[in-house]
Structure 1
């Protein structure tokens, strides 16, 4: 499960320190290399819930094997690609290939919990989160080291051994006859029309989000029209891709999705925007910029390990939100001569929400989502995180332009501060978080059957 789930965070994070070297090697400005980020997020934002629904219906093994093979193909294409368009295509293939890992893992965990009657396996969920966070936060450092050893193409080549290992482990260890509740109850229909409308709606919305401007407003109108058509179809479909009635009535789950979007906005804006500023304005090399993010890794992993088994989800989200607000405010104080020591303190501060918010939102989703749609709900959680990442990419492109200068970083900081404050407000207003993880074991469906 872990090998499959980390394929996505390694590809989202490792590219952070490669954007500047790729731009210099191919003569592309920052506004164009941003498509290396946006292309992967567009593919994964659409693909995660689609693949998650396939996992719900048919179990995770086949999807995990196909996803690992696509990741290997994308890594190979990126290693030999001679120009930026082919590199973007490689990133899209990587994005599609990494869609199966996390939904498959969440489906396996929930299926095992149903089998044993254990309501909330916090230890396993924590391990899954820690492994993904480890890769996400050390990705820039790993990328910097790889670039120092063999150039930016090694950030694509590294996918080959990881994808092959994930493929072999899935083939050897994933159960062939995984319990799939929807399939057992005869609900095997695949809503291809709903999936297509969902993909078209999200594509139009994300294309506008990548380059928001007055001339692109027709994309927003198209997205709205497609979205209304999608909702109408799903309300009438006997087996909808997304059950909008259930989803619309589950306000706590919708709040979790919104918090994940805002957490992703700040996390990825810091990961990509701050890293580019370190290289362009602060004058650090790609290797040194990656190494500077190591304290973020240490604080994120430390806080997640210390609090992982605690059921106090609301407290985790509140503390993470406060640190995120403080970190965003601190971005406004940075300058080209800011001492390295203060930069280390800043990344330590951002590590706390990195460790708490993803863990808290994942635990909340595990308790709030319908078991029969656990994988597709987990995919949607990742989709909302990627929506935040795409918003971050659009903000970076808008505020930085040709170069990641200090003025652009300060404008980005104000934008992120507003988002972090909104996320903290959502935590304060959601009183249902006090009950997450507190349901007694005898309330679990498996326990009732027993």
Structure 2
């Protein structure tokens, strides 16, 4: 926001900031939470809109699937890129720009005359919803530095629970919207959500503040700081970002549909990875500082745990839901009721344990419950009693709640405070890598429908991922007391 309107808004936002040493500014929580849930709600609502969209445009499932894929790909690339911009320019302007883009994308989707434009709207939604979560993590870190509170577990828990809640109710909300006004309402609802985020963000988010530097002195001015921010923008590693995007796109497109005929995709991913590594080691201001990341082994381990944990989480959500409908013969509504205890358990566990700082304990119990859920899944058959079907979901819900909260809290403590937003965006990227791996596994084990045999093979795949998660967590004593990185 610039000009005669933007300047008073920034000044007002600065005046409303609480004094140093006071408690966490609770006025920030509403825009943080509302903005961060835009991504999961758009990820989940579309599930119930695929069939009516296909009927409207005469498109087969293979084409409407791009409505899901487009948002995943755009978000996986956009989260770390926009996170880097948040670290450079501050959260306010990126939050406002991103949520404004969400509103434009919702309007485009509501009016789209073709499937192609609808897919373009989903790409814009993916990019627009990529700003709020990195901005929220940046604001959380900034408030912790201001208040001297090293571990704002309450705020981190609110973010985790809000995102899980919205992901759970997304399909239900989507169904209600479609019933009330057709499938276009799933896109149109983003317009009022965007306006609410813009109003809250403009009124409550602080103007960007310069981090103190050793070179600070009486001769430094706001104009000097603006000049330095401009120079950092001009030095933004565009080549590194482009190579990173090519790497992710090639890898995810192959994982979505593994096929020997698509051999060029993994080859392209490897070439892009090599080029990216070379570029980042030579760049003056790298997009992702690989040298620093290589020296932060706890953070690397957290990213690996994110991939492993969410590979099993998404494989269960996708595969088990499909089996309940096709293998067990339940209706979509009944399958949703069977999975409801999973969702409620995940939310309850995250809410109850959120304020406890035992990151290692959360991840150990979460991975153990994930292993137990996979083992029970091997016992499930088409004639299994309902209590067994619900019980396996409860175990999966415990693991989902603990793993999601544990990895987010671990990253908060392990990432460099100066790059917390880009680190948080990268955490979301690794989550989507797990989602893509799970999607590929479902396609491989359910080639002709969700059979019980296919479900058992999928359970073995999930068991391997969960076991690796446990083995990666068990010896990691650094998680018992997550260390603050240098510079905090």
State if a TM-score over 0.5 links the two structures.
yes
**Aligned residue in 2 for 1:254:** 300
Aligned match of 2:172 in 133, 141, 147?
141
Q: Secondary structure at the match of 1:435?
A: coil
Moved more, 30-39 or 224-233: 30-39
Task: Confirm or deny: 8 A CA contact 1:256 1:364 kept in the other structure.
Answer: yes
Separation in 1, partners of 2:407, 2:295: 18
Q: Secondary structure at the match of 1:131?
A: helix
**Aligned residue in 1 for 2:202:** 171
**Aligned residue in 1 for 2:353:** 307
Quick one: structure 1 residues 60 and 416, their matched pair in 2 at CA, closer, same or farther if it must change by over 3 Å? same
Task: Confirm or deny: 8 A CA contact 1:207 1:219 kept in the other structure.
Answer: yes
**Aligned residue in 2 for 1:393:** 439
Task: Using the TM superposition, give the Cα deviation of residue 65 of structure 1 relative to its aligned residue in structure 2, in angstroms.
Answer: 1.4
Task: Confirm or deny: 8 A CA contact 2:416 2:486 kept in the other structure.
Answer: no
1:57 maps onto 2:83 in alignment:
no
Task: Confirm or deny: 8 A CA contact 1:299 1:355 kept in the other structure.
Answer: yes
Task: Confirm or deny: 8 A CA contact 1:38 1:393 kept in the other structure.
Answer: no
Quick one: structure 1 residues 92 and 340, their matched pair in 2 at CA, closer, same or farther if it must change by over 3 Å? farther
Q: Deviations over 1:83-117 (max 9, x none)?
A: 54444333222111110011000001101111222
**Aligned residue in 2 for 1:71:** 102
Separation in 2, partners of 1:279, 1:409: 12
Aligned match of 1:91 in 97, 116, 122?
122
Aligned ranges 1:407-446 → 2 under 5 Å: 407-436=453-482
Aligned match of 1:201 in 227, 247, 265?
247
Moved more, 97-106 or 17-26: 17-26
Task: Using the TM superposition, give the Cα deviation of residue 282 of structure 1 relative to its aligned residue in structure 2, in angstroms.
Answer: 3.5
Moved more, 408-417 or 260-269: 408-417
Q: How many correspondences in the alignment?
A: 442
Quick one: structure 1 residues 403 and 422, their matched pair in 2 at CA, closer, same or farther if it must change by over 3 Å? same
Segments of 5+ residues of structure 2 without an aligned counterpart are: 1-31, 214-224
Moved more, 203-212 or 80-89: 80-89
Quick one: structure 1 residues 63 and 257, their matched pair in 2 at CA, closer, same or farther if it must change by over 3 Å? same
Task: Using the TM superposition, give the Cα deviation of residue 256 of structure 1 relative to its aligned residue in structure 2, in angstroms.
Answer: 0.2
Separation in 2, partners of 1:284, 1:86: 34
Aligned match of 2:280 in 234, 237, 249?
234
**Aligned residue in 2 for 1:157:** 188
Quick one: structure 1 residues 287 and 142, their matched pair in 2 at CA, closer, same or farther if it must change by over 3 Å? farther
Moved more, 152-161 or 24-33: 24-33
Task: Using the TM superposition, give the Cα deviation of residue 80 of structure 1 relative to its aligned residue in structure 2, in angstroms.
Answer: 4.2
Task: Using the TM superposition, give the Cα deviation of residue 302 of structure 1 relative to its aligned residue in structure 2, in angstroms.
Answer: 1.1
**Aligned residue in 1 for 2:395:** 349
Aligned ranges 1:355-366 → 2 under 5 Å: 355-366=401-412
Separation in 1, partners of 2:57, 2:438: 23
Task: Using the TM superposition, give the Cα deviation of residue 184 of structure 1 relative to its aligned residue in structure 2, in angstroms.
Answer: 8.5
**Aligned residue in 1 for 2:265:** 219
1:271 maps onto 2:317 in alignment:
yes
Q: Deviations over 1:296-315 (max 9, x none)?
A: 22111111111111111101
Q: Deviations over 1:407-439 (max 9, x none)?
A: 4333322222211111111111322212217x7
1:322 maps onto 2:368 in alignment:
yes
Aligned ranges 1:291-302 → 2 under 5 Å: 291-302=337-348
Task: Using the TM superposition, give the Cα deviation of residue 445 of structure 1 relative to its aligned residue in structure 2, in angstroms.
Answer: 6.5
Task: Using the TM superposition, give the Cα deviation of residue 401 of structure 1 relative to its aligned residue in structure 2, in angstroms.
Answer: 4.0
Segments of 5+ residues of structure 1 without an aligned counterpart are: none
Quick one: structure 1 residues 3 and 334, their matched pair in 2 at CA, closer, same or farther if it must change by over 3 Å? same
Aligned match of 1:132 in 132, 157, 163?
163
Quick one: structure 1 residues 40 and 201, their matched pair in 2 at CA, closer, same or farther if it must change by over 3 Å? same
Separation in 1, partners of 2:448, 2:189: 29
Task: Using the TM superposition, give the Cα deviation of residue 337 of structure 1 relative to its aligned residue in structure 2, in angstroms.
Answer: 4.3
1:109 maps onto 2:140 in alignment:
yes
Quick one: structure 1 residues 295 and 432, their matched pair in 2 at CA, closer, same or farther if it must change by over 3 Å? same
**Aligned residue in 1 for 2:72:** 41
TM-score, with structure 1 as normaliser: 0.90
Task: Using the TM superposition, give the Cα deviation of residue 41 of structure 1 relative to its aligned residue in structure 2, in angstroms.
Answer: 1.2
Separation in 2, partners of 1:339, 1:154: 38
Separation in 2, partners of 1:282, 1:152: 28
Task: Using the TM superposition, give the Cα deviation of residue 210 of structure 1 relative to its aligned residue in structure 2, in angstroms.
Answer: 1.6
TM-score, with structure 2 as normaliser: 0.83
